[in-house]
Structure 1
């Protein structure tokens, strides 16, 4: 690794913060989780923006932030040096093979391995593709444990109404504080400052994190 900054004029290691879909709070949580481990942030890098940093920059590429929704990796941005940990794979249409890996992704992983995976299924898929992989778990599991007072509320995130009602009946919690929310943020009008949009996503992700960690139970469809 390059020498970190030790004084004026010395070389320094640049760290970038990788961000995903502005309206997706799960991407926001993945970014918050990675931010914990960065000593400094030299640049914010968008998974959907082909912009490449002018200097060699290290990023934590966790979750599905290593590629855009079309499966295009960061390989064409050689100044981005990825630490691929807590990686997830996109889901395919075939129920018998729910996780898919493209040839481009396989080559990218092989060149930047070994790959830390957030679940054992991803480890198996990568291993079968000839990519060295290990189980690292999800980076969001590294948020500090909350030991304060809990509210006693039940939070359901992107859970169907009938499933929520069934869970509440089975647990006998119909009369308790029940909150339903989605990980998708409302859209914003075009032309807004990108920094404002990102700060909004981070602020909302922090709010959801604080709400969930203080609740008695959280039920979610997100892995």
Structure 2
């Protein structure tokens, strides 16, 4: 009997109630989907334990998870664990005896960051650094109709402007207490230092955070997003699931490493930063670059060449996923 296949989705009451999702989650699932001969069912990441349908094979690249009490998954799921991240915020909840036994059953576990790899190893689980599945998206998305579009996507998204803070009074109050309220000019300071006025005027500023949508809509939006990124002139971002796909597709990309002040963000990046052309920003918004470009500032005519350190990891992920499917 032929195998059936599934992909992870982000449909859950927890997302309905907060009424937003990160489109990067569907970018990750799109990366897994491209290797499957069919998609016979969708399974929500945070409710994998409740799946009771036919046995399915599933590539399990994801951030684990908003409801850690719902791990491990159903026995009806045959998983390939690559490119997983276990966030530091749920470590004390996810590692039950049942979860550890589950990971050991399907080891070795591929991890998208060093933090997760080392964490699993500390629990006696065979784990290795795999990189992120989004590094394989060049298999499907080709740079074949390059435009003059420059995208700034969630640059320094946690260093909010004054107008952004005013719309979120609770967050503004917290930042007054912790001393971060006066970071509202940090993003502007960094952008004006490194990019010329013409480029900033003509660029498109977007966010990965979107209103809650169905899985079908999520995959459609992710597809459109990736097609636009594939043919962009330049992408500047502080989102790894914008930056990594750009590397995969050959789109010039700059990762702005700044404004991350909490452990949810920081533990996700170890092992990925070296892949990127970066603008590194300190707590005072002083910044430096780790790459070269022509001119004093980056403009529409600047030539930006991506690094190639990710290539071997992408090739290994492609081979592993093809063998699994």
Question: TM-score if structure 2 supplies the norm length?
Answer: 0.54
Runs of 4+ in 1 over 6 A off after TM superposition: none
Q: What does 1:174-213 align with in structure 2 at a 5 Å threshold?
A: 174-176=197-199, 177-187=202-212, 197-213=214-230
**RMSD, aligned CA:** 2.6
Distance 1:51 1:100, change over 3 A: closer
CA distance in 2, matches of 1:25, 1:147: 21
More helix by share: 2
Question: TM-score if structure 1 supplies the norm length?
Answer: 0.77
Partner of 2:119: 125
Q: What does 1:39-188 align with in structure 2 at a 5 Å threshold?
A: 39-49=37-47, 51-64=50-63, 67-75=64-72, 77-92=74-89, 102-104=94-96, 105-144=99-138, 146-148=142-144, 149-157=146-154, 159=157, 160=159, 161=161, 162-176=185-199, 177-187=202-212
Give 5+ residue unaligned stretches, structure 2. Answer: 16-20, 162-184, 241-268, 270-325
Q: CA offsets per residue over residues 51-106 of structure 1, 9 Å max, x none?
A: 42432211111022xx541213553511111111100112329xxxxx76732243
Q: CA deviation at 1:19?
A: 1.1
Distance 1:40 1:187, change over 3 A: closer
Q: CA deviation at 1:24?
A: 2.4
1:15 to 5, 16, 22: 5
Q: CA offsets per residue over residues 159-217 of structure 1, 9 Å max, x none?
A: 245444233212233321222222221246xxxxxxxx212111111222223333312
Q: Does the 8 Å contact 1:155/1:218 carry over to 2?
A: yes
Distance 1:100 1:75, change over 3 A: closer
Give 5+ residue unaligned stretches, structure 1. Answer: 1-10, 94-98, 189-196
Distance 1:179 1:166, change over 3 A: farther
2:236 to 198, 218, 221: 218
